[in-house]
Amino acid sequence: MSLQPYEIAPILMGEYERVQEKAAATDSAFLSYLSIGVTPFLAFTAYAVSEQKFQIFLAALPILSVLGMSVVLVLSTHYVYAGAYLEYLEGRINDYIGKCELRDSDFARIAYKVKMSPVMVSYVVALTALFGMNLAAVPAINVFVGRFPATHPNVPVVYRNAMACYWQIVLPFLMLAGGLFVFSFWRVAKRLRRSKDVALVVMKS
């Protein structure tokens, strides 16, 4: 049994509201991540720099940075999903009511997706700061890793050998993990946009 347009529109509006709630939940997750993830991370980094006995923990900075970036990409994937699906639902609802009354996607595109929007600028500033922090930490990491055998003579040999090969271990991990995270995000975002475009074309045909 097929539904009439006046019956379908409320269903689509309910789905539209559900996806908006999902986007709002992602906002909350981002704020929680900033408060319980990023802020303590920066505080610990500053403390490790100032306290000599903790400076060796700076060696974990590149790995923690990549893991932190993975969290941001996961949360950003929720935004991409919500944006693509909301745009599709918006087109369906506008088609059923016969007017372009819902214009959220147009305003969202201006507010969030243009090159100089606060969101895009924040991404660029955060990534630049993260990259600069890691680059500035390289000389210090080399010093701490180089003197690790002398300052920690009682640790197992495997740990001393691992620290001696620090960059040979860390650099491939950073390139592999970082590349996989970015590629997977790009691929999912591309497929979501394509699915939305195809669905809208099918709807109008």
Number of domains in the chain: 1
Decide: helix, strand or coil at residue 54. Answer: helix
Q: Look at the alpha carbons of 114, 115, 121, 122 in this order and tell me if their dihedral is positive or negative.
A: positive
Element holding 12 (H helix, E strand): helix 5-33
Contact (CB, 8 A) for 182 and 72 = no
DSSP string, 118-135: HHHHHHHHHHHHHHHHHH
pTM: 0.80
Buried b vs exposed e over 145-167: b needs ≥16 C-beta within 10 Å? beebeeeeeeeeeeeeebbeebe
Per-residue pLDDT of the chain (205 residues; tens, 9 = 90+): 566 666 777 888 888 889 989 888 988 888 888 888 888 888 888 887 787 777 778 888 898 889 888 888 998 998 889 888 888 888 888 887 777 777 888 888 888 888 888 888 888 898 898 899 899 889 888 988 888 888 777 888 888 888 888 999 999 999 999 999 999 999 998 898 888 777 666 656 5
Residue-range definition of the domain harbouring residue 44: 5-204
